[in-house]
Structure 1
Amino acid sequence: MRSDYDEMGLGREAVLAHLEQGKPLNGLMTSPGATAALVVDSIAAVALDAHGGLGPTLIRHAPPRPKLLNALTAGSLAGLFPGASRRSLLALSAGLLQVHDFWEESHSAAQEADDLGEKHFSAYWHGIAHRREPDAGNASYWFRRVGRHAIFADLREEAVAIFKAAGDDRSGGRLMGGGGWDPYEMIKLCTSARPGTPVEALARRLQRAEMHLLLVANADALQGD
């Protein structure tokens, strides 16, 4: 990952304790070198580094840390990104809520952001939500709305390394045929992988990379909103 809580002088438990106690997100900005984007990255890392680095499961389940909910809302994120539009804050909230398994709240945030005209991230988070539901048809609809996303090039680059490490050329060929990234093949991979198999582990590593890249891009865009 680009950065983590340790780079800001905060350990995992310190970040979790701060958020679960209901303290404002901008309280994490007091750490040396902290920026709003780094704080977002650190919060995401708690979920993305879980399960031995595999990150969230492919299929939704109950949030492991329910006390984090209030810290991940658009209203809370406004303290990190003053002046940002509500639709942009909702899109970022949808991402953080999704990686921390607040599925319903993430879905609602993505839908509201889309209703308000957010064009860059909400549809992608909406697609991920339905992929994890799992509802392949609905996920495909939202990825058609996404089109060719800006993170696809970086995602393909990370995926090459993941496939190489796994020794799985067949799945890589389907996902990255033609030198691009195929989100519909990703839907097939994630919704068909059986729990506990090497294929599931591979798909989760890809999903982790995808979620991280999307959150980084989302937070960086908010800083210039």
Structure 2
Amino acid sequence: MPKLDDFFETHAATLPESVRQAVMNASIPGLIDEPRVPELAAALTEPGLDLPELAISGLWLLAGDLDRSHSISQNDSSAEGSFWHGIMHRRESDYSNAKYWFRRVGSHPVLIRVKQLHESVYSDPYDFIDQVEKACLGRTHDPAVTQWLLKAQWTEWQLLMIECLAK
């Protein structure tokens, strides 16, 4: 289960109970299309779910359903929609397409904050994508680097979720 960072805990409390519990019980998202979180997918398909569409896109990413996340984010031209879209392509190993979507994000407070919190592995989203690609292709031989990438990605997800829940 991913540990929620302190900055995200109060925001997680605003999620519907079934979604919040599923998020707290989920595995930390992998650098690629893994793992699947059926409990979260079930919570996201409950009738009457009242969350912003882009928050739902991010939750589908956490649930491991990249297609459902993609169907939402590709139809939203905002910086946050492009951000989820870029993460989705990065997780499906379409690295050049991920960079395209991050160019559409432009300067974003989430990017600045992730860089502050994970400066050793996150100088900018393009370098981060390159590092993820290297790790996924087995070119990063230090498991600690992969763990830092996973932590940075988890921070990125939480910060972007906060942005989307606020809209």
Normalising by structure 2, we get a TM-score of 0.78
Equivalent residues in 2 for 1:80-159 (5 A)?
81=51, 89-112=52-75, 114=76, 117=77, 119-159=78-118
Q: Quick check: 1:74–1:90 contact (8 Å CA) kept in 2?
A: no
Change (3 A) 1:35 1:133: closer
User: Are 2:44 and 1:35 equivalent residues in the alignment?
Assistant: no
Which amino acid is 2:159 matched to? L
Q: Quick check: 1:73–1:93 contact (8 Å CA) kept in 2?
A: no
Percent of aligned positions that are identical: 32
Deviation of 1:70 after TM superposition, in Å, equals: 4.1
Change (3 A) 1:39 1:4: farther
Deviation of 1:197 after TM superposition, in Å, equals: 2.4
Equivalent residues in 2 for 1:35-74 (5 A)?
35-36=14-15, 43-47=22-26, 50=27, 55-61=28-34, 63=36, 65-72=37-44
1:57 partner SS: coil
Deviation of 1:99 after TM superposition, in Å, equals: 1.4
Which amino acid is 2:81 matched to? S
2:30 partner SS: coil
Change (3 A) 1:130 1:139: same
Mapped to 2, the partners of 1:42 and 1:217 lie a distance apart of: 20
Q: Which residue of 2 aligns with 1:16?
A: none
1:121 partner SS: helix
Q: Which residue of 2 aligns with 1:215?
A: 161
- Pairing partner for 2:132 from 182, 187, 190: 190
Change (3 A) 1:38 1:156: farther
Mapped to 1, the partners of 2:160 and 2:17 lie a distance apart of: 14
CA shift digits 1:64-104 (9 cap, x unpaired)? x32432422597432xx5xxxxxxx2211110110121111
How many residues end up aligned between the 2 structures?
157
2:64 partner SS: coil
Q: Quick check: 1:94–1:110 contact (8 Å CA) kept in 2?
A: yes
Unaligned runs of 5+ in 2: none
1:218 partner SS: helix
- The RMSD of aligned alpha carbons is 2.9
Q: Which has the larger radius of gyration?
A: 1
Q: Which residue of 2 aligns with 1:77?
A: 49
